[in-house]
């Protein structure tokens, strides 16, 4: 989830995961949440909210807040390179 545009409460968005058992919550191969520190005003807090909810649900994930950056392909291209390297290593 790069520059995740979550509206509302991320906990509500992911509430279905709360009701599932540990096996389902830990079945994701790789989850990545990333955002530029200068990304859109609501994108940074919503990405941080997703990170907090995933952490509280004990879902393994990586969270990255990169310097600079705006909501654009140039920012996501770096995330894609990182994601593919980690995902393909699984």
Residues 25-76 have pLDDT tens digits of: 788 888 899 888 887 777 888 888 889 988 988 888 999 888 876 777 788 8
Give 3's pLDDT tier (boundaries 50, 70, 90): confident
23 within some domain: no
Domain contains 13: no
Please check whether residue 12 lies inside any domain of the structure. no
Provide the 3-class DSSP secondary structure of residue 37. Answer: coil
**Chain position carrying tokens 């979550």:** 6
- The whole-angstrom separation of Cα 31 and Cα 38 is 22
74 in a domain, yes or no? yes
- How many domains are contained in the chain? 1
- Say how far apart CA 2 and CA 26 lie, in whole Å: 20
Question: pTM for this structure?
Answer: 0.78
Contact yes or no for 14/57 (Cβ under 8 A): yes
- Hey, what are 39's tokens? 């990304």
Q: What distance in Å separates the CA atoms of residue 13 and residue 9, rounded to the nearest whole number?
A: 7
């Amino acid at each position: 989830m790069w520059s995740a545009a979550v509206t509302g409460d991320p906990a509500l968005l992911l509430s279905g995961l709360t009701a599932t058992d540990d096996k389902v919550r830990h079945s994701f191969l790789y989850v990545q949440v990333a955002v530029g520190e200068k990304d859109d005003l609501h994108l940074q807090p919503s990405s941080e909210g997703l990170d907090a909810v995933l952490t509280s649900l004990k879902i393994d994930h990586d969270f990255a807040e990169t310097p600079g950056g705006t909501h654009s392909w140039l920012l996501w291209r770096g995330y894609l390179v990182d994601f593919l390297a980690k995902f393909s290593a699984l």
